[in-house]
Chains A and B, each alone.
Chain A
Amino acid sequence: LAKTTQPISMDSYEGQEVNITCSHNNIATNDYITWYQQFPSQGPRFIIQGYKTKVTNEVASLFIPADRKSSTLSLPRVSLSDTAVYYCLNNNAGNMLTFGGGTRLMVKP
């Protein structure tokens, strides 16, 4: 199974930049890397996706090194509303999509 590894939790303060790193040790050549955000009592929500180098959208940036064994989700100037669980994912197994435990981000005032 394509399990990813990421920190269990992180704390930050409002206005700071937050970087969450994920390990993709058994990523396959044609896998994309995708990050999801989940608030309490809601389903996960797509944030950003990339294949290599850097991708940026209105919410976040995603950095993927050349070997693609890791990825870093960057959230600029976080606010209290960014407190959530963040999951990284790659579809190593084709049809099956398995999530790791996620990173619980707590943003403090």
Chain B
Amino acid sequence: DAGITQSPRHKVTETGTPVTLRCHQTENHRYMYWYRQDPGHGLRLIHYSYGVKDTDKGEVSDGYSVSRSKTEDFLLTLESATSSQTSVYFCAMRDRVTDTQYFGPGTRLTVL
């Protein structure tokens, strides 16, 4: 969906380094989500946000933190990346009127 973008699209990093992924939306939606997707696990919710500075944990939040200082940006940070965090990360925005999520293109993260 053109209204939501992710950066970077690909990243390779080393174990122990901090990593920040950015999700940017232009639709002014309150709700935003970070998921990770691994083979055999489908989509798993990491963290979500229901407004500026309002965030909460999802199913697999250990090792991740998020921040939402403005409506359009939702940042996901890996404080000290581990190889188990190698994954594809998707962010999504949610239209609460239609209760529909729109996903970004994904970020492929490799932790060596």
Residues of A that sit less than 8 Å from B by CB: 1, 32, 34, 36, 41-46, 49, 85, 87, 91, 95-102
Could you tell me the dominant secondary structure of chain B's interface residues?
strand
Partner-A contacts on B (CB < 8 A): 1, 31, 33, 35, 40-45, 48, 50, 56, 58-59, 90, 92, 94, 98-106
Report Cα–Cα, A76/B34, bound state, in Å. 32
For A87, give its contact among B43, B92, B100 (CB under 8 Å). Answer: B43
Q: Using CB atoms, name the residue of chain A closest to B102.
A: A46
Q: Answer whether A32 and B99 are a contact pair too, CB < 8 Å, given A41-B106, A43-B104, A96-B58.
A: yes
Do A95 and B42 contact each other (CB < 8 Å), given the known contacts A42-B105, A49-B100? no
Kindly report which residue of chain B lies nearest to residue A91, judged by CB atoms: B99
Most buried by B among A43, A45, A101: A43
With a cutoff of 8 Å between Cβ atoms, the chain B residues found around residue A46 in the complex are 100-102
Please name all residues of chain A whose beta carbon is closer than 8 Å to the beta carbon of B50 when the two chains form the complex.
95
Contact A96 B105 (CB under 8 A): no
Instruction: Verify A45–B41 contact, CB threshold 8 A.
Output: no
Contacts of A98 in B (CB 8 A): 44-45, 58-59
**Quick one: closest A residue to B54, CB to CB?**
A95
Does A97 contact B41, Cβ atoms closer than 8 Å? no
Q: Are B100 and A99 in contact (CB under 8 A)?
A: no
B45 and A43 within 8 A (CB): no
